[in-house]
Amino acid sequence: MEKFIPVWFGQVISLIGSGLTSFALGIWVYQNTQSVTQFAFIYLFAELPALIVAPLAGVFADRWDRRLIMILSDTVSGLSTLSIALLMFAGQLNIWHIYLAVTISSICKGFQEPAYIAAITQLVPKKHFGRASGMMQLGKAAGQLFSPLIAGMLAASIQVQGIILIDFATFLFAQFTLLMIRFPKLEKACKSNIKHTHLLNEITYGFTYIFARPGFLMLVIFFAITNFSVGIAQVLLTPMILSFTNAQVLGIVLSIGGSGWLLGSILMSVKSGSKRRIHALIGWELLLGLSILLMGLKPNVILITTTAFFAFFSIPIIISSANSIWQVKVPPEVQGRVFAVRGMLSWSSFPLAYLFAGPMADYLFEPLLAPSGALANTIGLLIGVGKGRGIGLLFILLGAFILLITVGAYQYPRFRLIEDELPDCVVD
């Protein structure tokens, strides 16, 4: 894995830098607007553009040098982030500037991620696909663990614009590691029987490939449904915690929770996952749903921190298990197209969740559990009333929904037997 590790390490450093900016800008927007909806729009603009460009990006990931795509994407994203710092220095920053910069970065991510994930089959032996996916999640965990703590410590001394400049420096480091490595060609075990044709045909190929295989289609539908619940919880976790404590405690909770992601990623990096990856996916998805449910019961720092730890611990195992199935079963020369469409379909529910999360919290669930709300004398007696308790109720419902969907999906044979019914398409 000597070619993969330098590329991975550069992306880890870049992810930590991006996490610094995301945390700092999120706090800045929420404290300046006091609006969950405005805060949620950052998540919306961070995800939706990437999903829209995904099918086209997948074609380019198969046609072009994947390393070059990663370099160009990171460069444009770094420059858009730098523009926010410059506007802050000039005292001209507005909310729409942040939305625009986040949108540009999201488009870049839409091109970068299919190339990065598909490049694993070029850089890593088949037996280490699970390990490589675990290492990718380890990078995300590092951002989740270290970024809030570092950003919290730096915010008072160098302010948000200084944090963004550090983020830009991490982009430069990631570019250096990519320039150092050449991506080798890959030996294939099965043919995709596709040649470069009309662009529209190649864009639709990923859809055709997935819809022709019921196991893959069900896997995509499963993630699309459960990701909607996870996306709402992701947006509302910060406002729920800030409803009864301060930003410093928030940073600690998110960092300890991120340590769960870190340990789960380390587990996958060392063990490369279970031999029956679909069973691992189901088991850890159940733990994720239970953790989200328990997270909403009480406004208690210890309870939320503990359940956040287990929720974050399960995420890299779920994602790595799913990625390994796709990487082994999909021909390498079409992985860019197929993975891009898979990502677009699976993650499309995240922008929808971000769009609904703020209004659901502000106008529906929070009023229900206000001191004089409709549920104050019933459910409020069990989980409390006041600011943040409506969000807590929503967490309970989201966790229960994930548990129900996970049990239901496992009853479908094409989903449960996906590793047996689809042939391997990558050799060692």
Q: What percent of the chain is predicted at pLDDT more than 90? A: 24
Predicted local distance difference test score (pLDDT) of residue 426: 62
**Coil vs helix vs strand at 38:** helix
Q: What is the mean pLDDT of the chain?
A: 83
293-312 residue pLDDT tens:
999 999 999 999 999 999 99
329-376 residue pLDDT tens:
888 778 878 888 888 888 888 888 878 888 888 889 999 999 988 999
Listed in sequence order, the residues at least 6 apart from 424 whose beta carbon sits closer than 8 Å to its beta carbon are 126, 189, 190, 328, 329
Structure tokens given for 235: 């947006």
Predicted local distance difference test score (pLDDT) of residue 292: 95
Query: What is the band of 406 on the pLDDT scale with cuts at 50, 70, 90?
Result: very high
Which ranges in 34-94 belong to alpha helices (H)? 36-63, 66-89
Predicted local distance difference test score (pLDDT) of residue 188: 55
Specify the pTM: 0.72
Q: Which residue has the higher pLDDT, 43 or 171?
A: 171
Predicted local distance difference test score (pLDDT) of residue 427: 59
Instruction: Quickly count: other Cβ atoms within 10 Å of residue 5's Cβ.
Output: 15
CA 246-250-256 angle, to 5 degrees, is 150
Average of pLDDT values for 4-12? 85
Of 30-34, 128-132, 156-160, 375-379, highest mean pLDDT: 375-379
Predicted local distance difference test score (pLDDT) of residue 229: 93
Q: How far apart are CA 112 and CA 209, in angstroms?
A: 21
Q: What percent of the chain is predicted at pLDDT more than 70? A: 92
